[in-house]
Amino acid sequence: MDLRISDELLGTFAPIVVYWIYSGIYVVLGLFSENYRLHTKQEEDEKNLASKGAVVKGVILQQVVQAVVATLLFAVTGNDSQDTNQNASLLVSARQFVIAMLVIDTWQYFMHRYMHHNKFLYKHIHSQHHRLIVPYSFGALYNHPLEGLILDTIGGALSFLISGMSPRISIFFFSFATIKTVDDHCGLWLPGNLFHIFFNNNSAYHDVHHQLFGNKYNYSQPFFVMWDKILGTYMPYTLEKKVGGGFETRPCKDHKDD
């Protein structure tokens, strides 16, 4: 009896499992890391406009759509190139990773920015994500269903197709992208966090975007900040310790009043 799980099945459901495990770790860490929070627990409870129950339901809905699209994508692309791609060299896999990162970053930057500048789309779609004024880990994928489909699911499908990665490589790529997205929304600035060392796009960078002063800046997600810098939507900020503990992101004065 063959009990092996196919790469396609893992590619579909591994990122979902990773999402809840990794965000759960941050929930626990947040209970004991008051000195590393970007906002207090009280601010998280009082400022956010969506209940945690609504957030969980919204994320699950997006993940259901994500799983359906992934299943269809794997079925359509088939196994034609799977045999040759599964044993791709480390160099080829690294190249596919980088291409996929650039594709998803480019797609999400322009779609995300357009949803902010189009008043109808912001009011009726993207504003749902910004109900979380104080981001937290398992709210990373809390979006309007249409936004989840356009930004995350279609963006992921494009990165998969354009990079030419196999279902096996996609398991690792989308699990990594999921971890990075959760990390960006975790609301914590923990010492030794490798994402903060290797990526300028991190929890503090994205926290700026969720605040009123940064609403039209720092659109880039989830990996690099290149499009913000190239197109003038990058907001420099400082990360300062608060008197009562924790950190605060503060914009540079010359951008705050723009």
Evaluate whether residue 83 is within a structural domain: no
Contact in structure between 177 and 15 (CB atoms under 8 Å): yes
Residues constituting the chain: 258
The CA distance from 165 to 52, in Å, is: 35
The pLDDT of residue 252: 86
pLDDT of residue 64: 97
Model-wide pTM > 0.85: yes
Can you say how many angstroms the Cα of residue 90 is from the centroid of all Cα atoms in its chain? 25
Query: Tokens 């900020």 label which residue?
Result: 237
Burial of 43 (0-12, 13-18, 19+ CB in 10 A): middle
- Comparing CA positions, the residue from 210, 197, 213, 69 lying closest to residue 136 is 210
> Is there a domain that residue 193 lies in?
yes
Return the SS3 of 250. strand
Question: Can you give the pLDDT at residue 258?
Answer: 47
| Per-residue pLDDT tens over the stretch 65-118 | 999 999 999 999 975 444 445 556 899 999 999 999 999 999 999 999 999 999
Q: What is the pLDDT of residue 79?
A: 55
- Domain membership flag for residue 17: yes
Distances (CA, A) of 256 to 169, 196, 214, 234, 236: 42, 23, 8, 12, 10
Is the pLDDT higher at 124 or at 243? Answer: 124
Euclidean distance between CA atoms 141 and 154, whole angstroms? 14
- pLDDT (tens digit per residue) in 127-145: 999 999 999 999 999 999 9
Domain limits at 184? 7-78+89-251
In order of 1, 14, 17, the CA distances from 6 in angstroms are 14, 11, 16
* Contact (Cβ atoms closer than 8 angstroms) between residue 155 and residue 109: no
Per-residue confidence band for 253, with pLDDT thresholds at 50, 70 and 90? low
Task: Please report, rounded to a whole number, the percentage of residues in the chain having pLDDT higher than 70.
Answer: 93
For 62, 125, 160, 192, the CA distances from 50, given in Å and listed in that order, are: 16, 14, 32, 31
Average pLDDT over residues 40-48: 94
CA distance 9 to 58: 23
Dihedral sign, Cα of residue 186, residue 27, residue 149, residue 211: negative
Our count of domains for the chain comes to 1
Residue 257 lies in a domain: no
Contact 186, 203 (CB under 8 A): yes
Residue 233 one-letter amino acid: T
Long-range contacts of 25-29 (CB under 8 A, 24+ apart): 26/136, 26/137, 26/138, 26/182, 26/183, 26/186, 26/188, 27/136, 27/137, 27/138, 29/188, 29/190
**Does residue 2 fall inside a structural domain?**
no
Residue 66 within any structural domain of the chain = yes
Give 181-225 pLDDT, tens digit per residue: 999 999 999 999 999 999 999 999 999 999 999 999 999 999 999
Q: Is the pLDDT of residue 54 over 60?
A: yes
